[in-house]
Amino acid sequence: MSRYRGPYLKKIRRLGALPGLTNKSIIDESDLRKQLGSVKKSQYRIRLEEKQKLRFHYGLTERQLLKYAHIAGKAKGPTGLVLLQLLEMRLDNIIFRLGMARTIPGARQLVNHRHILVNGRLVDIPSYRCKPRDIITAKDDQKSKALIQNSLNPSPRKKAPSHLTLDQVQAKGVVNQIIDRSRVDLKINELLVVEYYSRQT
């Protein structure tokens, strides 16, 4: 299954707010629920929608998300938390959370087009897993810096989460630590995603 390239608002109407996918918004969610009526959902559908929410927010293919679920299942600690931490520490997501790009697809494009340095080295792999003390900057040329400053300048801007530090003047971000569950920007029940994949195998 390839990466989703269809209408973003269609996904937001079905799954709720997906800040990583788009900064567009729809009418108040409570009004939306009234319009849709109270449709009883099966347990399978609830788990599927949580999985889809995770997939579309982070802009992953089904195969990529399945791979992350397997890695999280083998790691120490709660599988759901490890899965979220793996996704949150991706380079494209870190760039988005720092405010260097307005969406995760925009951040992925910056990385793919070779505008981003990690610890002074060019990285063009959006799935690169960032670690504490990594320093993320724009490549030292005018175009790269301008692209990032364009995203940093609009106001009002959300403050960078506590596991990251942003120097807006130098367009430089630092990863302070692995993200805490309370800092994840997406409303998600990760246990339902773990259940979804555990029932598929």
Q: Give the per-residue pLDDT at 2.
A: 56
69 and 112 belong to one structural domain:
no
Q: Does 104 reside within a domain? A: yes
Residue by residue, what is the 3-state secondary structure of 23-58?
A: CCCCCCHHHHHHHHCCCCCCHHHHHHHHHHHHHHHH
Q: Does 3 reside within a domain? A: no
Identify the domain containing residue 42 by its residue range: 8-87+185-200
What is the per-residue pLDDT across 67-116, written as a single tens digit (0 to 9) for each? 999 999 999 989 999 999 999 999 999 999 998 998 899 999 999 999 99
Q: Give the per-residue pLDDT at 151.
A: 83
Q: Does 158 reside within a domain? A: yes
Distance CA 40, CA 195 (A): 20
Q: Give the per-residue pLDDT at 95.
A: 94
- Greater confidence (161 vs 153) lies with 161
How many structural domains is the chain composed of? 2
Token digits for 11?
């996904």
* Amino acid present at 91: L
Q: Does 1 reside within a domain? A: no
- What DSSP line would sit under 58-104, residue for residue? HT--HHHHHHHHHHHHHSSS-HHHHHHHHHHTBHHHHHHHHTSSSSH
What is the per-residue pLDDT across 115-144, written as a single tens digit (0 to 9) for each? 999 999 999 999 999 999 999 999 988 888
Does residue 188 have a pLDDT over 80?
yes
Mean pLDDT of all residues in 140-166: 80
131 and 166 belong to one structural domain:
yes
Does residue 56 have a pLDDT over 60?
yes
State the residue for tokens 């998600």: 188
pLDDT tier at 33, thresholds 50, 70, 90: low
Q: Give the per-residue pLDDT at 1.
A: 42
Does residue 31 have a pLDDT over 70?
no
CATH of the domain at 194: 1.10.1050.10
Phi (first) and psi of residue 140, to 5 degrees: -80, 65
The pTM of the full predicted model, rounded to 2 decimals, is 0.83
Q: Give the per-residue pLDDT at 187.
A: 87
Phi (first) and psi of residue 170, to 5 degrees: -90, 0
